[in-house]
Structure 1
Amino acid sequence: MVTGGTRGLGFAIAREFLNEGMSVVCASRTPGDFKVLEEECPDRVRYWQTDVTSPESVAGLMRAAVDLFGRLDVVVANAGVNRDGKVERLDPADWDVMVGTNLTGVYLCTHAAVPYLRESGGTIINVSSSMATRITVGAAGYCATKAAVEMFTRVTAIELGRYGIRVNALAPGILAEGMGKELIQNDRIWEKYRKRFALGRVGDVAEAARAAVFLASDDASYVNGDILEVNGGLQWA
C-alpha cells in the first residue's frame, strides 16, 4: 500500500513494486496517473481514494487493502505536501496542512496498519527528505515535519520490532520531478547548484523507488530504524 501513490515518487514506488510481482493499492485524494499502472498490471493494482489526515479514511484504506488482496505486507507512507514561506509570513493554515499530511498522516498509517502487519510480519517505509537534516530557508514547516518523521520512524522501529515489524525511512535528495525538474531546466540556477551534487546530477525517481523496494525486501530483513538517504552525495552548504 502506497499513499500518494498516483504521481511522482509514490507512483514510481508503486510501479517498482508491481515490477517485482507485488500487488499494490495506490492511495491518494485523486487518481492522478493511476490509469497508467492499471493498464500495465490490471490484476494487481487498485486505486483507493484516501485522505491521510483522516483517521477514518486511513483505517478504511488498510481494511480495503486486506479485503482486496488478502493481506498487508508493506506500507509506504509517502503522501506529503510543501508550502513555501519564511516563518514570519507562513500562514498558520499552511502550517497545519503540512503537519496534518506529512506527520499526522504518517502516524495514522502506522497506527492503522499495526494489527495487519503483526499478522504478516510486514514492514513500514516512511518517506522523509534530505531537507529533514539540512537547513532550507523558507521551508521551516517542511523541514520540521520531515525531521519529525525520522524520529517517529526510529521510535516506532523499537516499539514494533517485538512484533516482527520493521520500520525504516527513505530520505530522497532532489529528484528530477517537481522542484528538481525546475532546477535543472533553469541553466543559471542549475549551474549554481550543480556543484553541490557529488555525482553532478539530480536523481531519477526510479532510483529512489528501487531503494524502497530494497527496504521492503528480505535483503533488508535486519534493517530496522534506519534512515536511508538516496541523494547521490548531496552537499548542502
Structure 2
Amino acid sequence: MPDAGRFSGKGVIVTGAARGIGEAVAERFVSEGARVLLVDVLPEVEATAARLGQPWLLQDVAAPGAGEAIAAAALGALGRIDVLVNNAGIGGSKRLEDSDDALIDRFLATNLAAVLKVTRGVLPHLPRPGGRIINVSSIFGITGYPGTTAYAVAKAGVAQFTRQLAGELAPEGILVNAVAPGLIATPMTTGHRQNALYTRLIVEGTPVERLGTPADIAGPVAFLASEDAAFVTGIVMPVDGGFLAARHGKI
C-alpha cells in the first residue's frame, strides 16, 4: 500500500508520463507525498498532470538538449530533483530484415540514447548522497522474442547502462536501478495484445496467468526510489508475473 508521506518534500521527474506506466508511476509518487514533473511528447500530458495537480512539460526526450530542458523545468517547478524515472519509449519494432534505417535509428534514439542524454542532463542536480535513477527496460532486453529486434536491443542497452552507471555513481551516493516489465496492458501494447500468437506465447506463458497493469510497475519503481532500497543498486528487476523464471506449463 502507498505510504502517504514516504516521499514528502521530494522532487521527481517521470518521462513518458502522459499515460500507461508513466502515468501510474507519477500517480504513485504523488500519492506518497512527492512533487512530480510529468514529461511527455504527447499533448495529453497536460490533462494527466492537471488530474494529479502537478506540473508538466511537453518535450521529446530524443530532441537535442532534452535533458537540460527537463532539468531546468524540474528545478523551476519543483525546486529540487531527487528521483529521475526514465520511462519514455516507443513500441512497434520489427524483424531486422523488415527494419529500415529510419526505424532502427528511431528506436535507438528514443529508447536508448535518450535515456543516456536525459540522465546526463539531470545528473548534476541529483543530491549526493540520496539521488535515485530508475530506468524502464523490458523482459525483451533480457530474453529474445522474434520481431522486436531494434526495441529489444535498445532495452538491453538500458539494462547495461543501468549496471554501468550504478558502478560509477554508487560511491557518490546515487543509486541506479531498472525495472523490466513483462506484457503490461497499456495503449502501447494494444497491437501485441490483439495478436493471437503473441497472446499465447506471452500472456498464457506467464505463471500468474494475467496481464500486468501499470500499477504493477509503479510499486516496484517506488520501492527502488525509497530508503527501503538503500542497499540496492545496479539491478534490473523483472516485473513480469514470473515469465522469465518459468514458462507456464500449459504452453
TM-score by length of 1: 0.91
Match status 1:220 vs 2:229: yes
1:144 and 2:144 matched: no
CA distance in 1, matches of 2:103, 2:193: 27
Match of 2:80 in 1: 71
In the TM superposition, what are the counterparts of 1:18-37 in structure 2 within 5 Å? 18-37=30-49
Name stretches of at least 5 consecutive residues in structure 2 with no aligned partner. 1-12
Which runs of structure 2 are paired with 1:52-201 in the superposition (5 Å)?
52-119=61-128, 121-178=130-187, 180-181=189-190, 190=199, 193-201=202-210
For 2:175, give the aligned amino acid.
Answer: R
**2:72, 2:109 → 1: CA distance?**
22
Q: CA deviation at 1:74?
A: 0.5
Normalising to structure 2: TM-score of the pair?
0.86
One of 11, 21, 36 as aligned partner of 1:9: 21
- 1:216 maps to a residue whose letter is A
Distance apart, 1:168 and its partner CA? 0.3
SS at match of 1:125: strand
Counterparts of 1:189 and 1:136, CA distance in 2: 10
CA-based RMSD of the aligned residues comes to 2.1
- Aligned residues of 1:2 and 1:26 also touching (Cα < 8 A): yes
**CA distance in 2: counterparts of 1:74 and 1:176, whole angstroms:** 25
2: CA distance, partners of 1:188 / 1:136: 12
**Residues 83 and 98 of structure 1 are in contact (CA less than 8 Å); yes or no, is this contact kept in structure 2?**
no
Q: Distance in 2 between matches of 1:35 and 1:170?
A: 26
Which of 14, 21, 38 is matched with 2:50 structurally?
A: 38
Q: Which has the higher helix share?
A: 1
Deviation at 1:38, TM superposition (A): 1.4
Per-residue CA shift, 1:84-113, capped at 9, x if unaligned?
A: 321112011011000000111110121111
Counterpart Cα distance in 1 of 2:211 and 2:81:
33
Distance in 2 between residues matched to 1:69 and 1:32, nearest whole Å: 21
> How high is the sequence identity, in percent, across the aligned residues?
35
Cα distance in 1 for partners of 2:163, 2:213 equals 26
Residue type of the alignment partner of 1:2: V
Q: Over residues 52-97 of structure 1, what are the superposed CA-to-partner deviations in whole Å (9 max), with x where a residue is unaligned?
A: 1124122011011012111000000111112332111201101100
